[in-house]
Amino acid sequence: MAIALTSPITGLAQTGFTSPTYTVALSNAPDVNGKQYVVSALGGTQTDATAQTGADNPFSITWWAPKVYKPRPAIMANGAGFVSRVPRNVHKLVTRKGVLVHADQPREIMPITTEIPVPAGSETASPAELRAALSAHAGALMQLAAGLGDTVVTGIV
């Protein structure tokens, strides 16, 4: 797998955070088609944020690849001359963080999932298009990072 994080991860801007960094360590993924890192330490100013402190307070980042890649569909066109069903090879990036709902209650897990359902065959037929979409998606997340945090906290879009 070509997925590899370099520690520390430089976090993106968030209201109230100054130069956030995340020290990550390779961990055991829940399954063979995953690669997982845990956040073992925080850097910068992130008042009240915590690193992973056990199963009840996870802070992990896991990449999931398909266990078995689906092949490009055969050209068995429907009546209109198009392939009627194209299977997807689904990749996922999942960040899990334990968050408090009330100070005297156990933490709840907040998952953040980016799912990438790649049409089978496009990996070889149009790799530049896949890369362009991923580049734009990641760039948009970078630009929107502080606004996403503000919106999730305040509910204001």
Tens-digit pLDDT profile for residues 61-95: 999 999 999 998 876 656 666 776 889 999 999 99
Going across the sheet that includes 34-45, the strands are 9-10, 18-27, 34-45, 59-64, 88-99, 108-119
Residues 6+ apart with CB under 8 A from 88: 70, 117, 118, 119, 120
Question: What pLDDT does residue 80 have?
Answer: 65
Question: What pLDDT does residue 43 have?
Answer: 95
**pTM of the full predicted structure?**
0.87
Residue-averaged pLDDT of the chain: 91
Amino acid at 77: A
- Rounded mean pLDDT of 41-52? 94
Amino acid at 107: R
